[in-house]
Amino acid sequence: MTYCLAVQVKSGLIFVSDSRTNAGVDQVSTFSKMHTFGREGDRQLALLSAGNLATTQGVVAQLQRDIRSNADENLFTVADMNEAGDYIGRLSREQQSKVTGGGATFEASFILGGQVGSEAPGVLRIYPEGNHICATDETPYLQIGESKYGKPILDRIVAPSTSLEQAALCALVSMDSTIRSNVTVGPPIEVLVYRRDTLAAGDYLKLDNDSAYLRDLKRSWEEGLREAFMKLPPINWASAKDRAADSRNIVSL
């Protein structure tokens, strides 16, 4: 399994990915799921991947080959994020169609984010079928893989006006919640920030399991949650309805 997400706020983009892959519970490995492609002053792109590892590695290899061979279409020639999404979707379908058999699935999903020239930065989710959707102000983040555990905190915190720093922290907490609840999502955690209109490689962090920062973050977050609980309005049990009044559901003798 995998958990990757990208957040799109006014001041830029945040990318976070885990690094665990597994084929059954006794074949667990570590692979980076974050790949970047950039040309200073022209464009910066980050690609996060989930799904069949052979497919995602095949797609990334082809993306790199197309750049090196100056193919007519490559990530340095596409005109905008939308065209980049279509191109990666096509490569993904081609990669999947190379293999068949055994009822196995070779599907892969991607998140592509970045900025091309003077276009606004964008984040896309590319489906196994090759099509894609874009993040918007109403839905300022996209996820792939094991997305449910880490979703509530994003829904409660992230908005277009959120600062890049807060968006990065929220994405990290979302990742930590997921790692805690699903053993097939695991460190190192990679974090990348892209600052809008810089067209320069952003800051990048790789947080291992024994990262002191990650430990501090978890401790601080759990303390903060406990404090938040202490401040919640107490339940007014005195206002509790007489359960007998709701007699449909009660049996007592």
- CB nearer a copy of itself, residue 5 or residue 170: 170
Alpha carbons within 13 angstroms on the beta-carbon side of residue 239 total 3
Task: Tell me the site size for a copy of itself, rule CB under 8 A.
Answer: 71
**Shortest Å distance, C-beta 156 to a copy of itself:** 5
- Binding piece for a copy of itself, criterion CB under 8 A, among 51-59, 95-103, 131-139, 228-236: 228-236
- Binding piece for a copy of itself, criterion CB under 8 A, among 38-46, 95-103, 115-123, 124-132: 38-46
226 is a site residue for a copy of itself (CB under 8 A)? yes
231 is a site residue for a copy of itself (CB under 8 A)? yes
- CB nearer a copy of itself, residue 151 or residue 196: 151
Residue of 6, 63, 11 whose CA lies nearest to 197 = 11
Among 105, 129, 183, 204, binds a copy of itself (CB under 8 A): 204
- CB nearer a copy of itself, residue 25 or residue 250: 250
Going by their DSSP bridges, the two strands 28-30 and 20-22 should be labelled as antiparallel
Site string for a copy of itself, 75-104 (x = CB under 8 A): xx----------------------------
Check: CB of residue 61 under 8 Å from CB of residue 67: no
Neighbour-count burial for 81-105, b at 16+ CB within 10 Å, e otherwise: beebbbbbbebbbebbeeeeeeeee
56 vs 207: CA distance, rounded Å: 22
Within residues 149-188, the interface with a copy of itself by CB under 8 A covers 149-153, 155-157, 165-166, 168-170, 172-173, 177-178, 180-181
54 is a site residue for a copy of itself (CB under 8 A)? no
- CB nearer a copy of itself, residue 37 or residue 110: 37
Within residues 114-153, the interface with a copy of itself by CB under 8 A covers 148-153
For residue 140, cis peptide bond before it (omega within 30 degrees of 0):
no
Rg, the chain, Cα only: 21
Q: What is the DSSP code string of 145-158?
A: ES-STTHHHHHHH-
41 is a site residue for a copy of itself (CB under 8 A)? no
**CA distances (Å), origin 218, targets 143, 174, 222:** 21, 11, 6
**Shortest Å distance, C-beta 88 to a copy of itself:** 14
213 is a site residue for a copy of itself (CB under 8 A)? yes
Instruction: Please name the residue that has the structure tokens 């599907």.
Output: 107
- CB nearer a copy of itself, residue 72 or residue 97: 72
User: In sequence order, which residues have a C-beta less than 8 Å from that of residue 15 and are 6 or more positions away?
Assistant: 4, 5, 6, 34, 46, 48, 111, 113, 190, 191, 192, 193, 194
